[in-house]
């Protein structure tokens, strides 16, 4: 039995396909259209999911959508009525997309897929909760979902047991942890729904002491936070409920100046604001989690919603709350909710037993050796073929050790926003210049942002102060942990200013080529850790196909590309060189 889950029209449209309760394919639309965070109906992602199984929409038993558009529309109408006349402009600008698109989801599904079967619409936070619990390793668990906003909910908690989910309480719009984080992201001049993680990366440069950070104290004025983690906002600090901006003038005054623009330098004040926000967010979610534990008495916690991508906080949960085990799926924000709705239909509506645990994120398109070779030959690309898998592993490790920037393309594309060793750029973390090298050659990103280390799971505790055993979300780069001090100088390029690392752990069964390259690099350097950063041109989504990967290498300063059994050097293909920076958008 096949069930298809769909999410679109807000952020990160995606599709997920279940076969007899197991996720067999899942991908975000942006990877196919090459438009970052594409929100449009996921025609290409659906096509990939169906083709990967050799089926058509006629073979689908059910289709599900990750929210209830009518209920959301009701909230939007309320919001605009409450804010009238200030909301008049945003009301007018938002209506066409509601009338032409968002309220016509059913019709769109039927037309695009030529599908005549049943379509289920699931509340957005229930889809988030399902995406976290139903594919988790836990038979029973507490569930917490925290995002910007769904229909009305901005956070919910409850319990998952077997194949049932019971959401017990919610926090409703306009009070929203996600929208608070996005408001400060906008204030600092970053793009909303895109750059929240940059604020998280900026925070450790600021004062992370609650007693001395002046902005932590100031930001507390915007929120009335109760001991049980519930809260209300003083809405005079915000305008997102009636305008297409987020911070109010009052908030700007409190933070000491007008909203910044994207090129503003990030000085002490901005760093302290980011730190104050991170501290306040951690206060709120800690209170929520302690309350959820008290009410549910569960040992396990699963998280979903955009706030579950706050890996800095995730790494503190097992130490700061009574929960013993944690699980977060790799695509924890809206992009992953299509997986939740498909699982919810199968397990909760149809009442089928759970028989699946998502252990790896490689659910997107993959390419055979023949397909890859055909692409290289058809385009006259100069390449060499490795003699063996062993040769491929050893050569890749050596190239990294010799301080090359290496494009790495193996397996099915990652599900979720992080590169996890299927579409990654690898480099040497022991090289103190690696950060500058990557920034000048490829990433061109803000200097304050850290690069992430990848380590084999069996080596993780030696280098990082991880929870024991290493939690599975660490495999999805969702947990930041301190790097043991004795290694700071050995791996300077992945040690953040506060001594932390946003590590990815890798288990050999997930992607043995990647695992073996890291181990082999360890033999050369003495440290089995690599830099792993996403394989993309600045402002574009992570690469999907061999063509995307080759184009990315030729447009940036990536030295070589290890793709399946093939090694392609940039210098050998000079006629295809171009400068991606001339076209970069972000
Ligand atoms: Fe959401």
Residue 454 confidence class, pLDDT cut points 50, 70, 90:
very high
pLDDT value for 194: 85
319 contacts: CB under 8 Å, gap ≥ 6:
467
- For the chain, report the end-to-end CA distance as a whole number of angstroms: 41
Per-residue pLDDT tens for 473-529? 999 999 999 999 999 999 999 999 999 999 999 999 999 999 999 999 999 999 999
pLDDT by residue (tens digit) across 89-134?
888 999 999 999 999 999 999 999 999 999 999 999 999 999 999 9
Say yes or no to pLDDT of 450 above 90. no
> How far apart are alpha carbons 327 and 469 in whole angstroms?
13
CA of 273 to the centre of ligand 1 (A): 25
Residues 320-347: pLDDT tens digits? 999 999 999 999 999 999 999 999 999 9
Ligand 1 centroid – CA 450 distance (Å):
26
Is residue 27 pLDDT above 80, yes or no? yes
Rounded distance from Cα 25 to ligand 1 centre (Å): 21
Q: How far is the CA of 314 from the centre of ligand 1 (A)?
A: 18
Give pLDDT, residue 571.
97
Establish whether the linkage from the previous residue to 174 is cis, with ω within 30° of 0: yes
**Ligand 1 center–CA 196 separation, angstroms:** 14
Q: Is the pLDDT of residue 41 over 80?
A: yes
Q: What is the mean pLDDT of residues 246-264?
A: 94
Render 456-487 in DSSP notation, one character per residue.
Answer: EGGGHHHHB---SSPPGGGGGT---EEBPGGG
* Whole-number pLDDT of residue 134: 98
| Dihedral pair phi/psi, residue 509, rounded to 5° | -65, -20
Specify which residues 62 forms β-bridges with.
3, 118
| Tens digits of residue pLDDT in 388-418 | 999 999 999 999 999 999 999 999 999 999 9
How do strand 140-146 and strand 300-304 relate by DSSP bridges?
A: parallel
**Over 70: is that where the pLDDT of 242 sits?**
yes
Beta carbons of 453 and 525 less than 8 angstroms apart: no
Q: Is the pLDDT of residue 2 over 70?
A: yes
Q: What rounded mean pLDDT belongs to the chain? A: 96
pLDDT band at 550 (very low <50, low <70, confident <90, very high): very high
Closest C-alpha to 149, from 94, 71, 225: 71
Q: How far is the CA of 2 from the centre of ligand 1 (A)?
A: 24
pLDDT for residue 586 is more than 70? no
- pLDDT (0 to 100) of residue 175: 97
Dig out the tokens for 20 from the structure: 């007899």
DSSP string for residues in 487-512: GTTTSGGG--TTSEE--EEE-TTT-H
- Contact criterion met (CB below 8 Å) for 336 and 344: no
159 burial level (CB within 10 Å; 0-12, 13-18, 19+): buried
What is the CA(304)–ligand 1 centre distance, in A? 8
Distance 334 CA to ligand 1 centre (A): 5
Among residues 16, 63, 12, 54, the alpha carbon closest in space to that of 33 is found at: 12
Please say whether the beta carbons of 134 and 160 come within 8 A. Answer: yes
Is-contact 321 107, C-beta < 8 A? no
Cα-to-centroid distance, 467 and ligand 1 (Å): 27
Measure the CA–CA gap between 437 and 463, rounded to whole angstroms: 24
């Amino acid at each position: 039995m096949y069930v298809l889950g769909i999410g679109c029209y807000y952020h990160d449209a995606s599709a997920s396909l279940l076969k007899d309760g197991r996720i067999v394919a899942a991908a975000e639309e942006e990877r196919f259209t090459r438009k970052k965070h594409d929100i449009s109906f996921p025609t290409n992602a659906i096509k990939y999911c169906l083709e990967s199984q050799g089926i058509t929409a006629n073979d689908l038993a059910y289709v599900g959508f990750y929210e209830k558009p009518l209920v959301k529309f009701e909230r939007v109408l309320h919001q605009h009525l409450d804010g009238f006349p200030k909301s008049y402009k945003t009301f007018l600008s938002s209506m066409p997309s509601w009338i032409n698109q968002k309220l016509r989801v059913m019709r769109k599904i039927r037309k695009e897929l030529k599908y005549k079967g049943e379509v289920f619409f699931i509340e957005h936070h229930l889809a988030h909760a399902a995406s976290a619990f139903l594919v988790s390793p836990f038979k029973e668990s507490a569930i917490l979902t925290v995002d910007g906003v769904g229909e009305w909910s901005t956070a919910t908690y409850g319990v998952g047991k077997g194949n049932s989910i019971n959401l017990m309480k919610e926090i409703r719009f306009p009070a929203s942890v996600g929208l608070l984080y996005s408001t400060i992201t906008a204030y600092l001049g970053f793009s909303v729904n895109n750059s929240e993680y940059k604020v998280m990366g900026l925070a450790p440069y600021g004062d992370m002491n609650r007693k001395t950070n002046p902005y932590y104290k100031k930001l507390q004025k915007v929120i009335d936070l109760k001991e049980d983690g519930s809260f209300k906002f003083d809405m005079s600090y915000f305008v997102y409920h009636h305008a297409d901006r987020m911070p109010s003038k009052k908030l700007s005054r409190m933070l000491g100046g007008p909203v910044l623009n994207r090129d503003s330098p990030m000085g002490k004040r901005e760093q302290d604001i980011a730190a104050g926000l991170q501290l306040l967010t951690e206060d709120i979610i800690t209170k929520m989690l302690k309350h959820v534990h008290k009410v549910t008495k569960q040992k396990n916690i699963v998280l979903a919603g955009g706030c579950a991508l706050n890996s800095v906080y995730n790494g503190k949960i097992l130490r700061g709350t009574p929960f013993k085990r944690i699980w977060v799926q790799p695509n924890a924000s809206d992009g992953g909710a299509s997986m939740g709705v498909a699982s919810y239909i199968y397990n909760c509506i149809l009442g089928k037993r759970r028989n699946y645990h998502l252990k790896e994120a490689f659910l997107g398109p993959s390419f055979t050796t023949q397909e890859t070779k055909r692409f290289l030959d058809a385009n006259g690309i100069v390449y060499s073929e490795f003699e063996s898998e062993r040769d491929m592993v050893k050569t890749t490790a050596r190239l990294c050790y010799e301080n090359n920037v290496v494009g790495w393309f193996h397996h099915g594309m990652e599900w979720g926003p992080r590169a996890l060793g299927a579409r990654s750029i690898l480099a040497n973390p022991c090289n103190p210049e690696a950060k500058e090298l990557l920034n000048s050659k490829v990433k061109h990103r803000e200097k304050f942002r850290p690069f992430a280390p990848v380590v084999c799971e069996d080596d993780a505790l030696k280098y990082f102060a991880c929870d024991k055993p290493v939690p599975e979300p660490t495999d999805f780069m969702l947990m930041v942990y301190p790097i043991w001090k004795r290694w700071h100088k050995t791996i300077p390029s992945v040690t953040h200013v506060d001594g932390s690392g946003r590590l990815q752990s890798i288990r050999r069964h997930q992607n043995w080529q990647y695992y073996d390259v890291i181990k082999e690099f360890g033999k050369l350097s003495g440290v089995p850790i690599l830099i792993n950063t996403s394989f993309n041109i600045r402002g574009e989504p992570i690469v999907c196909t061999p063509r995307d990967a080759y184009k990315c290498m030729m447009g940036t300063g990536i030295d070589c590309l290890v793709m399946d059994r093939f090694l392609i050097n940039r210098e050998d293909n000079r006629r295809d060189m171009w400068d991606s920076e001339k076209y970069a958008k972000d």
